[in-house]
Homo-oligomer: A and B are copies of this chain.
Amino acid sequence: MLDTMTGPDLTIEHVRAAHARIKPYIHETPILTSEYFNDLTGAELFFKCENFQKAGAFKVRGASNAVFGLSDEMAAKGVATHSSGNHALSLSYAAGRRGIPCHVVMPRTAPEAKKAAVRGYGGIITECEPSTTSREAVFAEVQAETGAEFVHPYNDPRVICGQATCSLEMLSQIENMDAVIAPIGGGGMISGTCLTLSNLAPQMQIYAAEPDQADDAARSFRAGHIIADDAPVTVADGLKVPLKENTWHFVSHFVTDVLTASEQEIIDAMKLTWERMKIVMEPSCAVPMAAILRNPEVFRGKRVGVVITGGNVDLDKLPWTLD
């Protein structure tokens, strides 16, 4: 059973099975290119636009794989999570497509817009106090009452296999890639990328990108063990969470390097991408471009896949308009 496996157990067959399972519920998102950014960086960049994905982010791949992999008996009890970001939206979307409940535990202090978005995808919110103790207690209650299956946003092998389908698509869409770069928070996308590429294109380089101000993955990578930070502050709000054992397996074994960027570099890269590529993407997605611009020598002359992970942004609070 996939849900009792750990990182090292996962194979490319699990990824192929995930792809077949989730195909009806996700988009094969397009690849965009930009002469402007190619000239600017000296690399050939291929942007994998998961901001155009269902529910607005790549997270729907992993969530759908978890939801549609459940037996009918397990599925009937629903799924549950305590993320308040893209994973909650994605899990709600996938559960809705299967016609089963999705329980989301969120702090009562979470922005109304986030709650509305989860409800918009059919998620059922149970509020907790804004503390880890309360969240864990309320989540345990919800699970006890409903028997819903917990789907972790990134440490779950089913989720990692789902995220791995993104680079599977990239391999068929982009010829002769030399490298892939993606943002790293908890490491779900990077782990999926490692799972696919280490099996199908082991010569390809895999770069993870994160904010200077939330550089726990970079420090973990150099130290050789997981370092977790307590509540880092960064505009790239999807990248604050720490690595866990299953994602650490992939990061420690298969990642070429972890690069970082400053807050200003991230905001500048975000705005420049909106201006030149005309796409709406989250601050987290700008971190790879910011890292490429900070380290041009690493990428010059290479064909690089850049994962644009999501597009769920509060348009009333764009980072370059804030003081």
Residues in chain A within 8 A of chain B (CB atoms): 30, 32, 51-52, 56, 271, 274-275, 277-281, 311, 315-316, 318, 320-321
With A52-B277, A271-B315, A318-B321 already in contact, 15 other A-B pairs whose C-beta atoms are closer than 8 Å: A51-B278, A52-B278, A56-B278, A274-B280, A274-B315, A278-B280, A278-B281, A278-B311, A279-B279, A279-B280, A315-B318, A316-B320, A316-B321, A318-B318, A321-B321
Chain B residues whose CB sits within 8 angstroms of the CB of A51 once the complex forms: 278
Least Cβ distance of A130 to chain B in Å? 26
Chain B residues whose CB sits within 8 angstroms of the CB of A311 once the complex forms: 278
Docked CA distance A281–B315 (Å): 13
Docked CA distance A271–B279 (Å): 13
3 tightest Cβ-Cβ pairs between the two chains A and B = A278-B311, A278-B280, A51-B278
What residue in chain B is nearest A49 (Cβ atoms)? B278
Q: Which of B32, B56, B275, B316 contacts A315 (CB 8 A)?
A: B275
Docked CA distance A277–B49 (Å): 12
Chain B residues whose CB sits within 8 angstroms of the CB of A315 once the complex forms: 271, 274-275, 318, 320
Docked CA distance A171–B87 (Å): 38
Docked CA distance A316–B30 (Å): 28
The winner among A271, A278, A315, A321 for most chain B CB atoms within 10 A is: A278
Chain B residues whose CB sits within 8 angstroms of the CB of A280 once the complex forms: 274-275, 278-280
Least Cβ distance of A177 to chain B in Å? 21
What residue in chain B is nearest A317 (Cβ atoms)? B321
Q: List 5 A-B contacts (CB under 8 A).
A: A32-B52, A51-B278, A271-B315, A274-B280, A279-B280
Chain B residues whose CB sits within 8 angstroms of the CB of A320 once the complex forms: 315-316
Least Cβ distance of A168 to chain B in Å? 21
